[in-house]
Amino acid sequence: MTIPAPFARFEGEVLPEWIDWNGHLNLAYYVVLFDKATDLLFDELGLGLDYRRTTNLGTFAVESHNRYERELLVGEHVRVATQIIAADDKRLYVAHEMFRAADGVRAATQELMFLHVDLVARRVCPFPPGLKARVAAAAAAHAVLPRPDWVGRRLAMPGER
């Protein structure tokens, strides 16, 4: 399989109903936009809704870290670039960067860890061989990209260890 590195097919718009009391995009809707980018990536990998419907297998997000760098205002258009950071038999580690379309300035980042699950048993399980091969090929294509310096950070107060 060939996949663009980074995978940058999602574009969206900040909707009026997503604006908070501060007059900018509410933090929850950054996550909505990132989730739509994840859906496109998963469709490309063969891990999307059709996969769930036909196999009763899917993914659960088990951890995420969001960083809000620039505010987004109503009507602004964004694009999301996605990089697969790592994958193994049952995990997929993904990093998203959201950019304002008008000027290319990065507005937010998100990193996520997904687990592959049996949706009937509600248990983690390995990727089936064909899907594992596609995920591994995509991860290998993205391995040539530099690892973002913001990946793996943790929240802490200044001076905290």
Task: State the chain's mean pLDDT as an integer.
Answer: 97
- Domain assignment present for residue 158? The answer is no
pLDDT at 1 over 80: no
Specify the pLDDT at position 154.
86
- Domain assignment present for residue 155? The answer is no
- Domain assignment present for residue 160? The answer is no
pLDDT at 29 over 70: yes
Which pLDDT tens digit goes with each residue over 40-95?
999 999 999 999 999 999 999 999 999 999 999 999 999 999 999 999 999 999 99
Domain span holding position 137: 7-142
Domain containing residue 96: CATH number? 3.10.129.10
Tokens for 75, please give them.
């009507």
- Domain assignment present for residue 97? The answer is yes
- Domain assignment present for residue 1? The answer is no
- Domain assignment present for residue 108? The answer is yes
Give the residue-averaged pLDDT of 125-147: 97
- Domain assignment present for residue 147? The answer is no
- Domain assignment present for residue 12? The answer is yes
Number of domains in the chain: 1
110-126: string of b/e by CB count within 10 Å (b at 16+)? bbbbbbbbeeeeeeeee
pLDDT at 160 over 90: no
d(CA 7, CA 11): 12
